[in-house]
Chain A
């Protein structure tokens, strides 16, 4: 059974960098699939942040691209998110998920972490 677990600070100050890690168990990241980050502000909808392939190739949400870096560490079987220059608008529950990208755009997030709330406040 594939399991994902987010970890990182629950409180980040404005203008600083948000850093989260997603530990994967039950599946080796180096075996394939994309791995992604999605966030959800309190009371609002889901927003895709970006995805990374096990080889390191990345796709980012154009609206966040200038502030986002997603990396993968296959030796630790985990991947990470860094979001710079955060503001209160970045306060959200952050989810990591396994992402399958198939032919004809048959894409889906099939396994999700439980999510972690990150609050941006001084």
Chain B
């Protein structure tokens, strides 16, 4: 079982704001990174560290963290944001990495 817990599915109306969360004890010590995966494609890094976006990622994607919860926020969700989203961080040992179970985002 994953040490990082995500809601299996979340939906958002087009143009609205959605927050996808990732919970785990290790998040009190380590940052999470976030990945977007569309069907049949490799994952794409969208957020890492405190709140960093790789080049080419729209600024509607942002990250935050509080206590044992990391969050990915999409402000003004677009149809092309419909995808699976995964968080990743170290486990409680700090010497291994783990992915959350993933959240399927539906844009209505």
Contact = CB atoms under 8 A, between A and B. Distances in A.
Interface of A: 38, 45-48, 51, 59-62, 95, 102, 104-110, 112-115
Contacts, number: 71
B35 to A, nearest CB: 7
Contact of B30 (A47, A59, A107, A109): A107
A112 B96 contact: no
- Chain B interface residue number, banded: 20 to 34
State the 7 A-B residue pairs at the shortest beta-carbon distance, nearest first.
A105-B30, A108-B48, A108-B33, A106-B49, A46-B99, A112-B42, A45-B102
Interface in B11-60: 29-31, 33, 35, 37, 42-45, 48-50, 54
Most A-side CB within 10 Å, residue of B48, B50, B94, B102: B48
Interface of B: 2, 29-31, 33, 35, 37, 42-45, 48-50, 54, 86, 88-90, 94-102
B96 A62 contact: yes
